[in-house]
Structure formats: C-alpha cells, structure tokens
C-alpha cells in the first residue's frame, strides 16, 4: 500500500434550507467584503440568490457581484475578476453555482495577475483569499477539493492546478435546489463524478478500503441516476448523488492508490478546447468506455473486479457494453460523431490531450494511443 496524507479541511453544510447559513459562515472567517461570483442567472429564479443575499446582508457583509461565468470557464474571465478583486480590495470570494463557477472563483482567489503560471506549475502553495461555495450542480467535486480547471482560450489548453490554500472554508450543498435541473445536467454530473472515481480506481493500488469505497460510490451514482430518471423529485437519490460526487474528489477515493490517471479527463479537455459547446459530462461519457476497453489488458484482474463489483458482469467486455447501454438509456451521446466532433481533428485533439502531461498510471499513452481511443469512439 502506498503511503499517503489525508487532510481535507472544508466544512460541509449539507441539506435542505441550509443556504441561509452562508452569512454566518463568511462572517465567522472575518470577511467583510465579498466577491460574489455566479453564472447565467438561474439562481435568481430558483431562490438561491435571494436566500444567499439576505443571509449575507443580515451579517452586514458588503457584496460585490460578478456574473456570467460559462461552462468550460476561461482564463480571460479569471484575469478580469482578479483585477476587480484587487481594485475593490475584497477579502473573500463566494462561488454560487457549479464547478465552472467554483473553479473560476478559486483561480481568482489566488489573486495574482497572471494566473496561468499556476496552471503551468500545477502544484502550488501560494496564499489565497478565503473561498466559500454554494453548490447548485453536483458534478465536478470542486466544492470539496483544492484545485481548479480553467481553459486558456488563446493557447487552447484546459489545464488544472492544485493548492491547499484554495480548499473552500465552507461549502453549502442543498440538493433540493437541483431538483429542477435539466435532465442532461444531472446525467453529466453523475458521469463526471464516475470518471473522477474510475481515474483513480484503475490505478489499482492495494488499499482495499479505497477500492471497496470507490466501488460503492460508483454503484450509488448509477442507482441514484436511475432513480432520478424515474423521478426528479426523489430527494434521497438527489442527496446521495450530490454526496457521492463531493466525496469523489475529497481525497477518500485517492488515498493509498498510486495516484490518478486523468486520461479520460485529458481527452475530454482536448475535445472541449476545440469544441467549447461540448459539455464536460458528454465528452467524458464518450471517451470513458473506450479508454477502459483500451486499457483493460494492462491489468486484467483489476478490470475484471470492476466489471464484477460495479456492473455485476463476468467480463470487462460485457461491463463496458452495459455501461454504454446505461449511458444511452440516460439519453447520453456515446460517439464523438454525435457530439459534432470532426474526424480530421482527432489528431490535434490527441496532441492537445497529451500536452496535459499525464502520469501513465493505468497504461502509458502516446499520441497514437490517444488517437486510437478517439477513432474507436468516433461512431
């Protein structure tokens, strides 16, 4: 078993009617002037904005609002927010939204003019403003980790950095605000979380706790998504999906493993660097089964364990087929063609994904390997 460290200081407040606790949470950290970062305005129709604003006002916290964060968040927006944060001398950052909003807020909290340097370094320890989050879409796990993924639009790179100082001080997760999400967003979230778990699970360490825990989270994500497809108001299923997605990147799925092999995420980042309209979950749904098929022979026993314990299948081949058919049943695209990706771009996407500088933990990947996975996933 690999040695490891576990230290996740984020205070999670989870459940119905918890958004009103944001004011006391921010005040408890001594923050007086808050940069409130959000997306396209849906939080104004579902009550989240009102609850958060009232709670912050009650504590006398000055709030500066910044709207318009889009999916696949971009570097220019981070730079813009850093400028505002510096000019206005805010002393804390609140993200209200999903992973894109949180990641933008986290990158802005680092409070440096050229944030891209952090992505070049990947692992940093620079100081940061305190980060708070109110989650409105369970998917990326950003509410319970200490990093961010941002796209550098000019260089067409979608990269991540990690920094313990950006771990949110408090994250509020009220699953009930996700009850009226468009269905495809719920599925995208579940697939994103599944991908996070599988990327560490397949590195196949011998920490039985971590392996069994990953399998139980994968099964829960699958069963919760099935239940939500039948009834979007199934609160226990919504809550289970939300908590599983948060735990996926909290560290408990990684400890004692050899690390994480982010090939599926790198491939998806390659795709959405060229096709920003492709959602993260949709890209992952297409590349994941193909990646598993391509890598299974590298560690047959471990992949067979996954097939048995997650899908109750007697072979990886059958498990991948069941996985694909479940994605279809959930209404997900399963080919690159369906996503609108052009065949002549597969080479460039592969090179872009490889530039992500992956640790080769499950199977070493050259450009040719990446391209073979993409070609097999084309139609």
Binding site for a second copy (CB under 8 A): 1-18, 175, 206-210, 212-213, 215-217, 219-220, 223-224, 235-237, 239-240, 243-244, 247, 252, 255-256
Please compute, for residue 16, the number of CA atoms within 13 A of its CA located in the half-sphere on the CB side. Answer: 5
Contact 36, 51 (CB under 8 A): no
Q: CB 133 → a second copy: shortest distance, Å? A: 14
What is the end-to-end Cα distance of the chain in Å, rounded?
Answer: 40
Q: How far is CA 218 from CA 153, 190, 263, in A?
A: 33, 9, 18
Helix axes 263-274, 183-201, angle to 10 degrees: 140
Cβ closest to a second copy, residue 6 vs residue 183 = 6
Q: CB 332 → a second copy: shortest distance, Å? A: 22
| C-alpha span between 75 and 35 (Å, rounded) | 17
Cβ closest to a second copy, residue 210 vs residue 350 = 210
Contact 171, 132 (CB under 8 A): yes
Type and span of the H or E element at 237: helix 235-248
Contact 170, 11 (CB under 8 A): yes
Cβ closest to a second copy, residue 3 vs residue 344 = 3
Cβ closest to a second copy, residue 7 vs residue 357 = 7
Cβ closest to a second copy, residue 4 vs residue 123 = 4
Other Cβ atoms less than 10 A from the Cβ of 379: the count is 10
| C-alpha span between 299 and 278 (Å, rounded) | 31
| Residue found by looking up tokens 């950095």 in the block | 161
Q: CB 279 → a second copy: shortest distance, Å? A: 24
Q: CB 340 → a second copy: shortest distance, Å? A: 35
Q: CB 282 → a second copy: shortest distance, Å? A: 24
Q: CB 187 → a second copy: shortest distance, Å? A: 18
Cβ closest to a second copy, residue 104 vs residue 224 = 224
């Amino acid at each position: 078993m690999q040695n490891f460290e576990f230290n996740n200081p984020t205070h999670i407040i989870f459940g119905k009617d918890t958004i009103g606790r944001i004011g006391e949470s921010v005040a408890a950290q001594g923050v007086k002037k808050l940069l409130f970062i959000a997306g396209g305005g849906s939080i104004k129709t579902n009550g989240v904005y009102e609850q958060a604003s009232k709670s912050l006002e009650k504590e006398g916290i000055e709030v500066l609002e910044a709207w318009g964060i889009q999916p696949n968040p971009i570097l220019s927006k981070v730079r813009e927010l850093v400028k505002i944060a510096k000019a206005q001398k805010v002393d804390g950052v609140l993200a209200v939204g999903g992973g894109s909003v949180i990641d933008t807020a986290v990158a802005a909290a680092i409070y440096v003019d050229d944030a891209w340097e952090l992505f070049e370094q990947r692992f940093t320890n620079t100081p940061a403003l305190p980060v708070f989050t109110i989650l409105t879409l369970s998917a990326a796990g950003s509410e319970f980790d200490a990093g961010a993924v941002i796209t550098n639009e000019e260089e067409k790179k979608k990269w991540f950095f990690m920094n313990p100082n950006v771990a949110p001080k408090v994250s509020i997760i009220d699953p009930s605000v996700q009850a009226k999400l468009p269905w495809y967003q719920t599925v995208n979230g579940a697939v994103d979380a599944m991908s996070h778990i599988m990327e560490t699970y397949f590195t196949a360490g011998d920490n039985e706790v971590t392996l069994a825990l990953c399998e139980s989270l994968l099964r829960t994500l699958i069963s919760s998504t099935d239940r939500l497809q039948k009834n979007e108001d199934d609160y226990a299923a919504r809550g289970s999906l939300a908590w599983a997605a948060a735990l996926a990147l909290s560290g408990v799925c990684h400890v004692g493993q050899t690390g994480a092999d982010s090939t599926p995420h790198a491939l998806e980042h390659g795709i959405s660097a060229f096709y920003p309209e492709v959602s993260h979950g949709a890209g992952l749904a297409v590349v994941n089964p193909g990646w598993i098929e391509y890598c299974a022979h590298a560690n047959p026993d471990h992949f067979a364990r996954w097939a048995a314990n997650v899908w109750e299948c007697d072979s990886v081949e059958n498990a991948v087929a069941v996985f694909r058919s479940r994605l279809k049943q959930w209404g997900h695209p399963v080919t690159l063609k369906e996503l609108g990706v052009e065949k002549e771009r597969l080479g460039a996407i592969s090179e872009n994904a490889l530039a992500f500088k992956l640790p080769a933990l499950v199977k070493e990947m050259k450009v040719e390997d990446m391209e073979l996975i993409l070609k097999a996933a084309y139609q």
